[in-house]
Amino acid sequence: MRLSTVILPIHRWTEGRKVWRRAEDLGFHAAYTYDHLSWRSFRERPWFGAVPTLTAAATATERLRLGTMVTSPNFRHPVTLAKDLAAIDDISCGRLIAGIGAGGTGFDATALGGQPWSPRERADRLAEFVPLLDRLLSEPAVTQEGTYYTANDVRMIPGGRQRPRVPMYIAATGPRGMRLTARHGEGWITYGDPRDAKTTAARDCPAVIAEQLARLSDICAAEGRKPEELAKVLLQGSTAERPLDSLDAFVDYAGRYRELGITELVLHWPVPDSVFAADQAVFERIATEGLRQLD
């Protein structure tokens, strides 16, 4: 099992640089950031763009993998996103992970005008977005016309550092998204019950993930994909579970999910006076000692 973190893009870079470097010093496998225009309770607080944040983080670190958690069609187009991802992958010398999801109904959904898409339209758009992004990140020239997204003789030269392309981790809890994961993904992301993760009792949360993992395994088998080829990523912070309360709480949490088949845990970097408030000293002890306690 690997341990990663998600660092919200809330810091002016004079401070943000220290946070990302600290994440590397603590030994995290990867550090991700949210790709939103603003986010829920942070609506009236500082919030910077994911692409420049990851670009700056790439120049401030050397070993840490970097990624979006997650980017979506809400305000991204596959062509421009592919260009940005290839550039970050080059600047980071091949350390980028592209976390991708369908997006939601929050501020991102209406910032560019129009009404939020229905769940079906979000799924339809993602089903077109992911294969086109796959091609753009893999091929030097792409032409494709779709219902929602078109690439007209787009050149992707030289592309990113990683071959055949930047790995894509797809956030999916339903069958359509899981099929996309099986067909195009190197990893799968979940945060818990998609209906309302917070209302699920902490004791019941592992059963939700176990059911999702079983469904993913069945879909992979139907698509001719081996489930073990996929990274299975659990994003902490959306459920009633409290793994950051203590080292023991984390060890219990991590051990439970490792047994289920989760291969990477992503913890929110503490943000004081927010839904992600946590004791920084405990968090850093978890980062340096937590997984060793499982051995």
Where do the domains of the chain lie?
2-294
Helix 175-184 and helix 119-138, axial crossing angle in degrees, nearest 10: 0
CA distance 202 to 179: 28
Q: What is the pLDDT of residue 140?
A: 98
pTM here is 0.97
Would you tell me how many other CB atoms lie within 10 Å of the CB of residue 195?
9
User: What integer is the mean pLDDT of 43-66?
Assistant: 98
Q: Is the pLDDT of residue 197 over 80?
A: no
Residue type, 228: E
Q: Is the pLDDT of residue 257 over 80?
A: yes
Tokens at 2, concatenated: 């690997």
CA-based torsion, 224, 227, 230, 232: positive or negative: positive
Q: Is the pLDDT of residue 198 over 90?
A: no
pLDDT band at 28 (very low <50, low <70, confident <90, very high): very high
The pLDDT > 90 percentage for the chain reads 94
Q: What is the pLDDT of residue 179?
A: 98
Q: What is the pLDDT of residue 90?
A: 98
Domain 2-294 indexed as CATH 3.20.20.30: yes
Q: What is the pLDDT of residue 195?
A: 82
Q: Which tens digits make up the pLDDT trace of 235-245?
A: 999 999 999 99
Q: Is the pLDDT of residue 208 over 90?
A: yes
Q: Which tens digits make up the pLDDT trace of 124-182?
A: 999 999 999 999 999 999 999 999 999 999 999 999 999 999 999 999 999 999 999 99
Residue type, 67: G
Q: What is the pLDDT of residue 144?
A: 97
Tell me, rounded to whole angstroms, the distance of Cα 16 from its chain centroid: 19
Q: What is the pLDDT of residue 199?
A: 87
Task: List beta partners, residue 171.
Answer: 189
Q: Which tens digits make up the pLDDT trace of 70-107?
A: 999 999 999 999 999 999 999 999 999 999 999 988 88
